[in-house]
Amino acid sequence: MGAYIIRRLLSVIPITLGVLLITFFLFRVIGGNPAYRIAGKNATPARIQQISHERGYDKPFFLNFQNFPRQLFDAQFPRLCGQLAHFDLGESLSTKQRVSTMLRQGFLPSLCVTVPMFVIELVLAITIALLAAYFRDTWLDRSLVIVSVMGMSISALVYIMVGQYWLASEWRLFPVWGFEGPRYLILPVLIGVIAGVGGSVRFYRTVMLDEMYQEYVRTARAKGVSQQTILFRHVLRNAMIPILTNVIIAIPFLYTGALLLENFFGIPGLGRMTVTALFNGDEDVIFADVFIGSILFVIANVVTDIAYTWADPRIRLK
């Protein structure tokens, strides 16, 4: 198992390289020379050239064949990878802060919103899904499904706008904007849960129903096990695998935060930072973001595999 985990963790290298390559391709190759964005609209060609030279934008993209082969890797992409491999995340173009500082400041507010949202939604969704599976094919199940699908048919934007306007501004139940205490988090978390729970219920219900028709359920019923025990002991444990996959894979994305909620409620998290960086052409922030995101993603995948062996002893990692 140890060898398996190490082998899987090594896949972080090709995956991260691929992610950086896509990002690099988007921002440097298609997006053009970033020096134009840095220098502003009224820059002289000399100034552009100066910035390009300082930041290495005048080098070739992938491989440098001047003075072959001594400077082969003195090109934009290899240099970027080298920098990130030393965990040097660079500095923001617009705020001149170190990106590592920005990430450190931003991830806590992001987690304050996404973690409670994630946990509440998960517990709520699994409870409702179990309820629907228990009463399957009755009016209760059918109305739960339809309400869930109705819930996921409304744009998250609308939930936020309606919540912020009526609940916060008109009825004054919550603060409208800001990040100054736990009270400021209630409404964003509430909206996030309502917007997301429908899709989760639908997913978990199908997972549970899939198990409902397995042979071991029939056997359990035949030997006289009660419906409740079948549901909570047998079905829930067997449904663990798809549930775990869904849950653990979502965890690395918690750190990027909830883009919309952070923007609407003025929460200084990573989601907001990333969107701002994208529109300012603040590449270093974007590269750092996708770099860390892809590493977390690979780790989450490995954790999922380990969790499988715990949930289902038949699975062995080789």
Partner 1 sequence: MTTATTTPLTSTLTTDAATSPTGLWQIAWRQLRRNRLAVVCLAILGVYTVVWLYAEGVFWNAHLRGTTPAYKVSHYDVRNQPPSPAHWLGTNFAGRDNFGQVIQGTRIAYEIGLLTSVIVIPLGFVLGALAGYFGRKVDTVIVYLYSVVDSVPSILLIMAIAYVVRGAIDRSPFFQGITRYIDSGLLAVCFGMGFTGWVGLCRLIRAEYLKHRERQYVLAARALGASDASIMFRHILPNVSHLVIINFSLRFPGLILTEAVLSYLGVGVANEPSWGAIINDAKQRLWLGNWWELAGATIAMFFLVLALNLFGDALRDALDPKLRIAEGKTA
C-beta of 32 vs 82, nearer to partner 1 = 32
C-beta of 225 vs 251, nearer to partner 1 = 251
Q: 98 - beta bridge partners?
A: 91
Contact mark string toward partner 1, 35..74, x via CB under 8 A: ----------------------------------------
| Cβ neighbours of residue 293 closer than 8 Å, sequence gap 6 or more | 19, 252, 253, 255, 256
**Which two three-digit tokens encode residue 104?**
């450190």
Nearest distance in Å: CB 310, partner 1: 21
**Binding span for partner 1 by CB under 8 A among 2-10, 105-113, 131-139, 193-201:** 193-201
Q: 147, 164, 247: which is closest to 201 by C-alpha?
A: 147
CA distances from 236 to 170, 192, 228, 311 (A): 43, 25, 11, 11
Nearest distance in Å: CB 154, partner 1: 6
Query: End-to-end distance of the chain based on CA atoms, in angstroms?
Result: 6
Angle separating helix axes 76-85 and 283-311, nearest 10 degrees: 60
**Binding span for partner 1 by CB under 8 A among 160-168, 184-192, 216-224, 307-315:** 160-168
Give the one residue of 52, 76, 92, 200 binding partner 1; rule: CB under 8 A.
200
Give the one residue of 158, 214, 226, 233 binding partner 1; rule: CB under 8 A.
158
Give the one residue of 1, 10, 13, 22 binding partner 1; rule: CB under 8 A.
22
239 interacts with partner 1 by CB under 8 A: no
Cβ atoms of 16 and 294 closer than 8 Å: yes
| The total number of residues written for the chain in this structure | 318
**Binding span for partner 1 by CB under 8 A among 86-94, 102-110, 133-141, 256-264:** 256-264
Rounded Cα distance between 213 and 67, Å, is 68
In the chain, the amino acid numbered 6 is: I
**Binding span for partner 1 by CB under 8 A among 104-112, 156-164, 178-186, 222-230:** 156-164
110 interacts with partner 1 by CB under 8 A: no
SS3 of the chain: helix, strand, coil, percent, to 5: 75, 0, 25
For 179-207, b/e burial (b = at least 16 CB within 10 A) is: beeeebbebbbbbbbbbbbbebbbbbbeb
| Cβ neighbours of residue 194 closer than 8 Å, sequence gap 6 or more | 151, 159
C-beta of 225 vs 247, nearer to partner 1 = 247
284 interacts with partner 1 by CB under 8 A: no
**Binding span for partner 1 by CB under 8 A among 65-73, 230-238, 282-290, 308-316:** 282-290
Q: 62, 53, 36, 48: which is closest to 283 by C-alpha?
A: 36
266 interacts with partner 1 by CB under 8 A: no
**Binding span for partner 1 by CB under 8 A among 49-57, 62-70, 94-102, 290-298:** 290-298
Rounded Cα distance between 24 and 36, Å, is 16
Contact mark string toward partner 1, 112..151, x via CB under 8 A: ----------------------------------x--xx-
Footprint of partner 1 (CB under 8 A): 11, 14-15, 18-19, 22-23, 26-27, 30-32, 146, 149-150, 152-158, 161-162, 165, 169, 196, 199-200, 202-203, 206-207, 209-210, 242, 246, 253, 256, 259-260, 263, 274-275, 278-279, 286, 289-290, 293-294, 297-298
